Each structure stands twice: as C-alpha cells, then as structure tokens.
Structure 1
Amino acid sequence: MGGDGLVPGSARLHLIDGLPLLRPDEQVFEAMIKGWRNQQLARNLSPGYINDQERTVRAFTRHADAMPWQSTPQHVDEWSADLRAVHGCVRSTLRNYQGSVRQFCDFLTNPAYGWGEECLRHFGTHPVQVVYDWNAATHADEAEGEPERRAFTRPELEAFFDHADEEVLRVRGKGRKGWLPAFRDAALFKVAYAYGLRRNETRMLDLTDFGRNPEGREFGEYGTLLVRYGKAKKDSPPKRRSVLTV
C-alpha cells in the first residue's frame, strides 16, 4: 500500500479525478488493464504469466464486443463455445482462459480498487463477475491429457535418439556448419529424457548446473544436475531441485 493509502491497481492511481476523458471506453479499459498488471506484479507473479493473462482478457473483450462493465455470463458462454468448437481448445486451455477472465472480474469487483465506482461515474453501470462454477470448465481430474497421447516405447525412444545422432553424422559428412546445432539438439534430447526435465527446465539449463555427487564419484563433474527453473507453486518464483545422475 502506498503512502496515500491506495493499493496497487486502484482506479485512483490510474485515472485523474475531475479530468474529462476524450475516449472514456478505451481509456478506462486500458487503465483497468494497467491496474490489474500492477496488482499482479505486487503479488510477485511473473511477467510472462501476467502477459498471458492480459492477452486472454483482451481476446475475450474483442470476442464479446463489450467492455468489462458491459460483459455478461452469456458472453462467456459464447466465447467458450467458440474456443471449443471453432478453435479446438483442449479442456485445460479452456479452463485457464476462463480462469484469467474470472480473476480479472474479481479484481474489478473488489471494492478496495474502486473500479466499480469509477464505472458508475463514467458509464452508469459497473463490472460484475461473469465466470461462475456453473458456466466454467472444472478441474475434475489431475491427468487431463488426451487419451490418444501415450508415452514412447523403448524401441521408439532408441529410434528417436539414433536418428538424432545420425543427423549429426549426416550433416557433418556433407561439410556443412549445421552439424553443431544438430549435435546440441541430440545432447539436449538425451539430457531432458535422462533427468526427467520439463521444456522450460531444459531451456534454462547451463553447463554450470552440473556438479559433483560425493556418493557417485564415478560421474565426476556430472554427478548431479541443479534444476533452477522448476515448476513454480502459485504466486511463487521457480522452484529449484537437484537430480542425481544414475
């Protein structure tokens, strides 16, 4: 909370009292987005996550062709149906999109931020929550993957890694410079599989993340791998963990 008693994201921090707005719809909406961004930054959420949230809310607003103080649950129903039927969004993606809109509405309808009062003053109405349990996807199962997706069999894995190695030899045999990226990719695939890494965990690796393991001296400098960008818990920074070489 600032010295003036206002919390991050408050309407009074983004709209000047008594100053007429030339384009009230556009200016108030942009002020809402900026206020929501500041509120999320104050909660220590990552910029990437905040950008995704903002993109989703803007997409919903465009589809509804209505500003937040005009939105209704029917707009959510139509948007959700379009995402599923036309764009083919999977269940988890749809739930995440709906969750972003729900959080935005929670922010706007919280009296602490004053957006309801600002909308009443400018438009004669105010935002309401439009995403409820009865019109949103639920998280009913921990495993939400599509059933047709399965793990590779051992022969399939061996064929995949063999192909990656063969690509290095093929490109190098032609005297082309691209063999180094091919070698990098082959090593990357094997490291990700061997240590059970997620995509972002793999992407953020550095050679200095490898270290010794006193209980596995035979592996030398590669006895353990420090994962610095593990999957974070809600409102938390990336989680670190160590994976032993076996």
Structure 2
Amino acid sequence: MHLTVDTSAKCHIIPATFIKCTSVPLNAFLIHLELPITRLSRSAALDRKGDPMTHPHHLKLAPHTEGNFTLPAEDTALLNEIIEGYKARRIGARRYNKKSVEGELAVVRDFINHSQMSPWHWGDSDFEAWCNEIGVNRKLAVSTQRKYQSAVKIFLDYLVNNQGLRNKVKELCGVAPRQICHRDNMIQHKLDRELARKKPALTEEQVKHLLDGIAEGIDLAWRFTSKALIPLQRDKALFSLVYGLGLRASEACNLDLEDFYPNSDLPQLGRFGFTRVTGKGSRGTGPKFRTVQIMYEWVAETLCWYIEEIRPRLLKHAAPNEKALFLSERGTRLTRSSLDNRFQEAVTLSGLDGLGFTPHCLRHSQISHAQDTGLSLEATRRMAGHAFASTTQGYTHVGDRAVQNEIAHRVNNPQRQQHHY
C-alpha cells in the first residue's frame, strides 16, 4: 500500500512503511536439557522430516507413549555425571558461552535419541547413520551438518581423553568409549562457502541508492512534519556505519559512544578514526573485541552529525547516562530485530525491495568493495573480524568485469609479466 501526496509541482509516492513503523517480536525457544532422554515418536519425526530449519534447540526431548527409548538407570546416572563434567570444563575452565555449550549438548542428545544407545556404545556406523539423517532426511545446510558433527566430536574428545571417566565407563559398562568422528566421515572445511543461498552483495551504486532513499525519506518527513523524521535520520547514520565498517547487525547495536577514538594518521576524521567493535567469538568463546579503522570521511561526518544533532533528541525518554550509540524512539538501545525492520523499510524507500537484501548484505558489500580497492586479504580479514581468511573469501563478490580488468592490467604491464623459461 502506498500514499500519493500531490504538492504543487511534484507528486510524491510515500510507502506505507514510511507512514507507520511496526516491530516484529522475536520468538523465544526453550532448551530442555534436563528432561529424560527419549526417542521421538514416528509421527513427530515425520513432522520434522525435510524441514531445513530443524535444530536440536527445537527438539522436544519428552517421553512419548509410542516407541519411547529410555537409557538404563545406571547409564543415565553416568551420562549425567559426564555432562556435568563437560559443562564444568567448557563453561567454567574454558570460559565458553553457556548457550553455545547447551547447544552442543542438545546435538549430543539428538544423536543419543537417534542411535538409542549411550555414547560409549557408539560406533562409526551409528555416527554415519545419524549424519545421513540430518543431511538427507532433514536436509540441513552443509555448514550446519559440519557444526553438529563437530559438537559430537568435541563431546567424545572430552570423554575419551578424560582418563577418570574413561576408566569409570569401562568398569561399570564393560566397554571403553572411543572417538568415532574422523576425517573420513566428517565434512571438512572448504575455501568456498557451501551455502546454496549465498547472501547477495549490493553494488556501490546500490549502496548509494539505499542511502539516497533514506535521505529522500528524511526530506519528506521534514516537509510533512512526520514523526518518522528522527528515526530516519538515525537510520542514515546507522546504515552508513554498518556499511562503512562492514559490521554485523549485532555489532552495530552494541556500539557505545565511548567506542570511538582518533587516528593520528587521519586527523581529518576527528574523534572517529578508530572504532572498538564487540564481535562474536568462535565456537562459543564469548565476545571478541577488535579495532576497525574508519576509511571513509563521509562516514565520520555522518556519525558526527548524528551524535551532535540527532541522538540528543532520542534521549528524551532514555535512562540517565545512557551509553548506547543507536537508540530507539523509547530511548533504549536499538535491538537487532528493530534494526532488521528498519533496514527493510529503507530498502522499500529506495526501491530495492524484492532483491533479497538484508542488513548482513551491507557487510558482504563492504568486504567485497574493500577487496576491489586493493585492500589485502589479511587486512580485510582483520577488519571483518574473521578467524580464517577462507571465511573472508566467502564474503567477496567479485564481478566478471573486475576479474577481466585485473587480468588485462597484469598482461599489459610488462614489468609484472612472468619470465619465459
């Protein structure tokens, strides 16, 4: 739905998203890790079959009257002891994220449900049958399958390498646990991303079109004294920064006013030379911090404008000494879901809807454009906060023309041609 407004010489089309802002609440899922381990009923399994969104966090590990499987009492007690030790090691000693560890244990419990046996009885064929279940029947993404396989491997590493638990299992159950996950039956990490639905990257022209669309929305809101004016002004700074620094949506929401400091090599950027970013850690290690250099003067100027002129207007209902950089209309820190909704509204304003763009596409775009300008892969990796260069390579979207230009430049540059032998 659109509203057409005729003002003197011009006719303006105002999208419905500009007139009324809506928010979508996030659904919360409970993880029942302490319930008895049971086999899901055949009907429940068929209900999930083929659903690519099936995840151990969503599995209902509750007793059922048909075909239920329960470990023997002595196995259950021993497994609970192992799980408690595993959690103490991962969360307490290694400082891994609690939610991540619970996710690993949910995967282990799913494998137990599928195999109908305790971990110390598992064999290679049991693991491979379960891998077939999650890959062929549930049709999980390759990257998700690898994550689940790794969770089982990590759990078995703990059990097999803990001599005390290993001896106790052998004494009580008569078998020694062994590692059944190895290179021959696990999905290996590849250079190229396997995701079939790779997130698209915006071209530089599309990024400009997106920000120009927000600017046009700001102009309309000012002329019609709309309450959407201040949120749109915030969005202009928000998405300029997300693109300019190649940020994840959560990283942008977590930014505070004090996360910026000058770069002596670029004094023209003022206090916005560097940004301290709180990123996600790998394998549930908790947040990781990195410093990202602002490369575009226009991003620093937009940020300065937002902090000095726009953000104070959002502080009306904020708590005293609020530190969050980007605020909602209620004066609270902007949430990830709100950022997603605001981005889709910006996409609609700029006429880019229907192309599958999400906020994360701005991150893909910045990484691709940084590579196009000649920034090294290592520098780009550090800017993006990736642990591996192969991950950064998966974010690059190099067009055919860019490849042709680079090859032509090398061929036509006699100083860089290879010698003939």
TM-score range (shorter-chain normalised) is 0.7 to 0.9
Query: C-alpha displacement at 1:104, in angstroms?
Result: 0.8
Q: Is the Cα contact below 8 Å between 2:87 and 2:101 reproduced in 1?
A: yes
Distance 1:237 1:65 in 2: 36
Indicate if the aligned counterparts of 2:278 and 2:287 stay in contact, CA closer than 8 A.
no
Partner Cα distance (1:122, 1:209) in 2: 55
Structure 2 alignment gaps of length 5 or more: 1-71, 297-421
**Residue correspondence of structure 1 range 62-141 to structure 2 within 5 A:** 62-112=113-163, 114-139=164-189, 141=190
Tell whether the 8 Å contact from 1:164 to 1:186 is kept in structure 2 after alignment. Answer: yes
Counterpart CA distance in 1 for 2:111 and 2:167 is: 23
Match of 2:111 in 1: 60
Which structure carries more relative contact order (alpha carbon 8 Å, separation 6+)?
2
Measured in 1, the distance between the counterparts of 2:114 and 2:165 equals 22
Q: Displacement of 1:64 after TM fit?
A: 2.5
Inter-partner Cα distance in structure 2 for 1:166 and 1:34: 57
The alignment's C-alpha RMSD in Å is 3.3
Among 144, 150, 163, the residue aligned to 2:193 = 144
Aligned equivalent of 2:85, options 24, 32, 35: 35
Q: Distance in 2 between matches of 1:154 and 1:120?
A: 62
Distance 1:160 1:65 in 2: 53
Distance 1:233 1:111, change over 3 A: closer
Distance 1:30 1:160, change over 3 A: farther
Normalised by the length of structure 2, the TM-score is 0.45
- Structure 1: gaps of 5 or more residues: 1-21
Aligned-partner SS, 2:270: helix
1:59 Cα deviation from its structure 2 partner: 2.4
Structure 2 vs 1, CA of residues 117 and 232 (structure 1 numbering), >3 Å: closer, same or farther?
closer
Corresponding position of 1:3: none
C-alpha deviation, 1:108, in angstroms: 0.7
Task: Report the Cα distance in structure 2 between the residues aligned to 1:63 and 1:170, rounded to whole angstroms.
Answer: 58
Provide the C-alpha distance between the structure 2 equivalents of 1:147 and 1:106, rounded to a whole number of angstroms. Answer: 31
1:238 maps to which residue? 288
TM-score normalised to the size of structure 1? 0.73
SS at match of 2:140: coil
CA distance in 2, matches of 1:72, 1:182: 57
Look up the match of 2:66.
Answer: none
- Tell me how far 1:214 sits from its aligned partner: 2.6
Preserved contact between residue 219 and residue 245 of structure 1 (Cα < 8 Å): no
Q: Which residue type is aligned with residue 121 of structure 1?
A: E
Q: Specify which of 190, 195, 199 is matched with residue 245 of structure 2.
A: 195
Deviations 1:110-142 (A, max 9, x none): 143x22222233333332212121111112x22
Instruction: Report the counterpart of residue 204 of structure 2 in structure 1.
Output: 154
- Give, in angstroms, the shift of residue 102 of structure 1: 0.8
Q: CA 1:174/1:211 → structure 2, altered by over 3 Å: closer, same or farther?
A: same
Contact 2:108 2:151 in 1 (8 A): yes
Distance in 2 between residues matched to 1:155 and 1:84, nearest whole Å: 39
- Alpha carbons of 1:47 and 1:153: their partners in 2 closer, same or farther (altered >3 Å)? same
Query: Does the 8 Å CA contact 1:70/1:127 hold for their aligned counterparts?
Result: yes
Q: For the structure 1 residues 30 and 175, does the alpha-carbon distance in structure 2 shift closer, same or farther, using more than 3 Å as the test?
A: farther
The CA deviation at 1:62 is 2.4
Please identify, of 35-44 and 164-173, the stretch whose mean Cα deviation from structure 2 is larger: 164-173
SS in 2 for 1:44: coil
Using the alignment, how far apart are the partners of 1:174 and 1:145 within structure 2? 48
What residue in structure 1 maps to residue 254 of structure 2?
204
Q: 1:136 to 1:179 in 2, by over 3 A?
A: farther
Matched, 1:214 2:251: no
**Equivalences, count:** 222
